[in-house]
């Protein structure tokens, strides 16, 4: 560990876990908030972005629990004999096993796009995590996307109407969210709405798309796990559990907000935080 640096404390891990659980699903950029708050923890160091990846994994667990019925339906649709099953509910829509398999393929395609961009620009993205000013600028972008999404006409297209090119676009949108300050959920939901999807459908695809993306990032960062002591790993794990519990509650809140097209209120928050960061970093 570099001179002057220190390990993360228990209560700091809990606080960051709560922060991650709230901001991962509320469209305000969890990575951006983690960068900002960690910058105020004097001497805080982590191997790579291991702690960040672990608390993101905690919110991934929340997604799996909340959308467990959808995930179960996707698994059944991919098993032999699935075509003999009747159409079932998937995210509130009545869809056939064939349509569910199509959505699985689209999720894979979107994930491959995100992974390709993430790996190609990984070094650049790591450096951006050291810049609070980058977070401020990107929060302005996130706010603009959220504000515009609430002013797009009402759409009625569901997940069964999703097309391959739209899955590609959503995967690309998710890759931009690797930049701290760009909200993953906010960006992908807003882009889904721009493409003509209902807010609830865009949110559901966004969350399902997060599962392989976050899992891949976590596995990549776990290579650093061997570099920290066991007691510190326990503290990291505590933050992960807290993020999972808070994240589950936050998903329910966001699905309620998206259904009522109130994302613009989060844009005001993003712009306010960005302004405060500009003021703080220039003083």
Q: How far apart are CA 120 and CA 142, in angstroms?
A: 23
Q: How far apart are CA 41 and CA 34, in angstroms?
A: 11
Q: How far apart are CA 115 and CA 220, in angstroms?
A: 11
pLDDT tens digits, 16-31:
899 888 888 888 877 7
DSSP, collapsed to helix, strand or coil, labels residue 275 as helix
- State the Cα torsion 97-101-107-109 to the nearest 10°: -160
Q: What is the DSSP letter of 152?
A: S
Contact 155, 200 (CB under 8 A): no
- What is the pTM assigned to this prediction? 0.81
Q: What is the pLDDT of residue 47?
A: 67
The alpha carbon dihedral of 112, 113, 114, 116 has a sign of positive
Average pLDDT, the chain: 83
* pLDDT bucket at 232, cuts 50 / 70 / 90: confident
pLDDT tens digits, 79-120:
877 666 655 656 667 777 888 889 999 999 999 998 898 888
Q: List, in sequence order, the alpha helices (H) in the chain.
A: 10-23, 30-39, 50-66, 68-77, 97-120, 122-128, 132-149, 164-176, 184-194, 199-221, 230-259, 264-282
pLDDT tens digits, 175-224:
888 888 888 888 999 999 999 998 888 888 998 988 887 787 777 777 76
């Amino acid at each position: 560990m570099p001179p002057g640096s220190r390990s993360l404390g228990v209560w700091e891990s809990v606080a960051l876990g709560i922060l991650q659980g709230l901001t991962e699903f509320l469209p305000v950029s969890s990575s951006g908030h983690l960068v900002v708050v960690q910058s105020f923890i004097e001497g805080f160091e982590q191997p790579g972005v291991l702690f960040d990846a672990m608390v993101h994994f905690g919110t991934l667990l929340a997604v799996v629990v909340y959308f467990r019925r959808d995930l179960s339906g996707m698994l059944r649709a991919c098993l032999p004999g699935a075509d003999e099953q009747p159409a079932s509910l998937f995210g509130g829509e009545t869809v056939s096993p064939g349509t569910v398999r199509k959505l699985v393929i689209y999720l894979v395609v979107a994930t491959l796009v995100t992974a390709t961009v993430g790996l190609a620009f990984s070094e650049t993205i790591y450096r951006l995590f050291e810049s609070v000013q980058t977070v401020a600028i990107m929060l302005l972008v996130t706010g603009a996307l959220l504000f515009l999404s609430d002013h797009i006409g009402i759409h009625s297209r569901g997940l069964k109407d999703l097309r391959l090119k739209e899955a590609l676009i959503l995967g690309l949108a998710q890759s931009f969210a690797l930049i701290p300050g760009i909200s993953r959920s906010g960006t992908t939901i807003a882009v889904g709405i721009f493409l003509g999807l209902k807010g609830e459908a865009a949110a559901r695809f966004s969350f399902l798309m997060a599962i392989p993306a976050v899992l891949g990032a976590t596995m990549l960062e776990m290579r650093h796990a061997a570099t920290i002591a066991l007691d510190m790993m326990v503290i990291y794990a505590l933050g992960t559990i807290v993020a999972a519990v808070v994240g589950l509650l936050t998903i329910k809140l966001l699905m309620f907000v998206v259904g009522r097209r109130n994302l613009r209120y989060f844009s005001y928050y993003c712009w306010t935080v960005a302004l405060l960061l500009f003021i703080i970093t220039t003083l």
